[in-house]
Amino acid sequence: MTPFEIALLALVVGAAVTTAALRSVLSSVVAFGAYSLGIAIVWVFLRAPDVGLTEAAVGAGVMTVLFLLTIVKTDHPATERTFERIDLRAAGVAVALVLVLSSTLFALPAVGDANSAVSDDDVSEYYLDNAYDETEVKNAVTAVLAAYRGFDTMGEAAVVYSAGVGLLVVLDREVFG
Amino acid sequence: MSQQEPGTPDTAAPTDRSGPYVGSPIIMATVRVVMPFVFTFGLFVMFHGADSSGGGFQGGVIVGTVVLMLGIAFGIEATREWIGSRLPVALIGVGMLAFLFTGIGSVLLGAGFLEYSVYHDLGIPHATKYGIEFVELGIGVIVAGIVTGLFFAIAAGLDGGESA
Q: What is the pLDDT of residue A176?
A: 63
- Domain ranges for chain B, please list them: 23-155
Evaluate if residue B97 carries a pLDDT over 90.
yes
Task: Give me the domain span that covers residue A55.
Answer: 1-108
Q: What is the mean pLDDT of residues A118-144?
A: 83
The reported pTM is 0.82
- A56 with A88, same domain: the answer is yes
The domain that holds A38 is classified in CATH as 1.20.120.1200
Count Cβ atoms within 10 A of the Cβ of residue A22 and give its class: 0-12 exposed, 13-18 middle, 19 or more buried.
buried
Arithmetic mean of pLDDT over chain B: 81
Question: Which of A45, A51, A62 is the mutation pick for testing B, counting most B CBs within 10 A?
Answer: A62
- A150 with A102, same domain: the answer is no
Measured between CB atoms, does B75 come within 8 Å of chain A? Answer: no
- A13 with A50, same domain: the answer is yes
pLDDT class of A112 with cuts at 50, 70, 90 = confident
- A30 with A74, same domain: the answer is yes
pLDDT class of B162 with cuts at 50, 70, 90 = very low
Amino acid of residue B136: E
Instruction: Yes or no: say if B53 and A141 are a contact pair by the CB < 8 Å rule.
Output: yes
Q: What is the pLDDT of residue A106?
A: 85
Q: What is the mean pLDDT of residues B148-159?
A: 82
Evaluate if residue B160 carries a pLDDT over 60.
no
- A100 with A149, same domain: the answer is no
Report angle CA B56, B52, A65 to the nearest 5 degrees.
Answer: 45
Q: Give chain A's domain count.
A: 2
Q: What is the pLDDT of residue B148?
A: 92
Q: What is the pLDDT of residue A175?
A: 65
Measured between CB atoms, does B79 come within 8 Å of chain A? Answer: no
Q: What is the mean pLDDT of residues A14-32?
A: 91
Question: Which of A168, A170, A176 is the mutation pick for testing B, counting most B CBs within 10 A?
Answer: A168
Q: Where are the alpha helices (DSSP H) in A55-149?
A: 63-72, 88-102, 122-135, 140-142
Evaluate if residue A108 carries a pLDDT over 90.
no
pLDDT class of B61 with cuts at 50, 70, 90 = very high
Evaluate if residue B24 carries a pLDDT over 90.
no
Count Cβ atoms within 10 A of the Cβ of residue B98 and give its class: 0-12 exposed, 13-18 middle, 19 or more buried.
middle
ipTM for the assembly: 0.82
Q: What is the mean pLDDT of residues B37-52?
A: 89
A126 Cα to chain B: minimum distance (Å): 18
Evaluate if residue B14 carries a pLDDT over 50.
no
Q: What is the pLDDT of residue A114?
A: 77
Contacts of A151 in chain B (CB under 8 A): 103, 113-114
Among the partner-chain residues A49, A65, A146, the one whose CB lies closest to the CB of B135 is A146
Buried b (16+ CB within 10 A) or exposed e, B54-68: bbbbbbbbbbbbbbb
- A90 with A154, same domain: the answer is no
- A64 with A130, same domain: the answer is no
What Cα–Cα distance (Å) separates residue A40 from each residue in A16, A20, A176, B86?
14, 19, 37, 33
- For chain B, the three-class secondary structure string (H helix, E strand, C coil) is CCCCCCCCHHHCCCCCCCCCCCCCHHHHHHHHHHHHHHHHHHHHHHHCCCCCCCCHHHHHHHHHHHHHHHHHHHCHHHHHHHHCCHHHHHHHHHHHHHHHHHHHHHHHCCCCCCCHHHHHHHCCCCHHHHHHHHHHHHHHHHHHHHHHHHHHHHHCCCCCCCCC
For B37, residues 6+ apart whose C-beta sits below 8 A from its C-beta are: none
Maximum CA pair distance of chain B? 65
For A61, residues 6+ apart whose C-beta sits below 8 A from its C-beta are: B61, B65, B68
- A165 with A119, same domain: the answer is yes
Q: What is the pLDDT of residue B18?
A: 44
Evaluate if residue A2 carries a pLDDT over 70.
yes
Evaluate if residue B27 carries a pLDDT over 80.
yes
Task: Give B103-135 pLDDT, tens digit per residue.
Answer: 898 888 888 888 888 888 887 888 888 888 899
The conformation of residue A31, written as its DSSP 8-state character, comes to H
